[in-house]
Amino acid sequence: MDKNTTLNLRVNPEVKHNAEAVLSQLGLSMSTAIDIYLRQISMVGGIPFPVTIRQSPDSVNAERMTAGQIRDKIQNGLEDIESGRFRDLDELPR
């Protein structure tokens, strides 16, 4: 099948860089990866993976907690910080 249609799009440079790094490890070009994605959309009749809003578990959802539970969570968090039991966000796996 001929590839003679151009697709121009704007993306976040960091997102593009990270995706290119992964695709390189897979031996794929960005063009091939996008072609695969578009073919999957055609084959499954939609986006080929779930697109959802992640729900927080009740144990950390302030809308479902009592004032006492929220206060306890904050107190526990402060105690963790004071005793050094925390990790910087940049240290967490992505």
Q: How many domains does the chain have?
A: 2
Q: pLDDT digits over 31-79, tens only?
A: 999 999 999 999 999 999 998 887 778 778 888 889 999 999 999 999 9
Quote the tokens at residue 56: 């927080």
| pLDDT at res. 46 | 96
* 39 and 62, same domain (yes or no): no
| pLDDT at res. 44 | 96
* Spatial separation of the C-alpha atoms in residues 72 and 78, rounded to whole Å: 10
* 4 and 40, same domain (yes or no): yes
**Backbone dihedral angles phi then psi of residue 93, each to the nearest 5 degrees:** -65, 150
What's the predicted TM-score (pTM) here?
0.56
* 37 and 75, same domain (yes or no): no
* 64 and 39, same domain (yes or no): no
Q: What is the domain extent for residue 42? A: 1-50
